Amino acid sequence: MLNEKMEAALNKQINAELYSSYVYLAMAAHFHGLNLEGFANWMRIQAQEENMHAMKIFDFIYERGGNVRLMALEAPPNEWDSPLDAFQQSYEHERKISGMIDELVNLALDIKDHATWNFLQWFVAEQVEEEDNANRVVENLKLIGDNSAGLFMLDRELAQRQPEAEAGEDGGGE
C-alpha cells in the first residue's frame, strides 16, 4: 500500500515525465522545421521514452493500490537559438529530473518504503544514461562549432537512433 505522501510525489513525477515528453516533442518539431531530420528523430524517440517513464510510474501506483491523479501540463518552449542551445537545455533538464528522482529516493528512505525505493532504482540508473546521452551530443556540437559539414554528419548519425523496443536495449542512445 502506498503512503499518501509517496503517492502524491509519484503523481508529481508522472507530470514531470509527461512534461519532459512535451519538451522533447517541441524540440522534434523545431528540428523538423529546420530540416534537421536526424535531430528530429532523436527528439521524437526521446519524447516516446519519456512517455514510457510516465507510464512505468502510472502502472506502479496502481500495482501498489494507489491512485493516479493527472495534472495540467505546462506549455513547453518552442524556439531554441541553435542545436547546441536545445541540447544544452536537454542536458540541464535531465539534471533537474535526476534531482527529482533523488528526492523521491530520499522520501522512500525516510518513510521506509522499500518497495518504492526498489522501483526507483531503475530511474536512478536511467538518469545516468539520460544525462550522458544529452551531454554526448552537447560535446559533439561544441566540437562542430559552425561547421555545416559536421552538423550534417551528426544529423545523419542521430537519424540512426531507434525506439527502445526496436533497439532491444533500455534507453537506446543515438
Cβ at position 138, least distance to ligand OFO in Å: 15
Using CA atoms, how far residue 123 sits from 19, 53, 118, in Å, is 16, 8, 10
The residue with cell 493500490 is 65
Among 25, 43, 86, 97, the residue binding ligand OFO under the rule CB under 6 A is 97
Of residues 86 and 151, the one with the C-beta less far from ligand OFO: 86
Q: Does 133 bind ligand OFO (CB under 6 A)?
A: no
Q: Does 44 bind ligand OFO (CB under 6 A)?
A: no
Cβ at position 50, least distance to ligand OFO in Å: 5
Cβ at position 47, least distance to ligand OFO in Å: 10
Q: Does 94 bind ligand OFO (CB under 6 A)?
A: yes
Indicate the DSSP class of residue 82. S
Three-state SS string over 17-81 comes to HHHHHHHHHHHHHHHHHCCCHHHHHHHHHHHHHHHHHHHHHHHHHHHCCCCCCCCCCCCCCCCCC
Run of H or E including 149:
helix 148-158
Q: Which residue is nearest to ligand OFO (CB)?
A: 20
How deeply is 59 buried, as exposed, middle or buried, from its count of CB atoms within 10 A (0-12, 13-18, 19+)? exposed
Q: Does 17 bind ligand OFO (CB under 6 A)?
A: yes
Q: Does 131 bind ligand OFO (CB under 6 A)?
A: no
The residue with cell 527502445 is 164
Q: Does 155 bind ligand OFO (CB under 6 A)?
A: no
Residues of the shown chain interacting with ligand OFO in the complex, contacts defined by CB under 6 A: 17, 20, 50, 53, 94, 97, 130
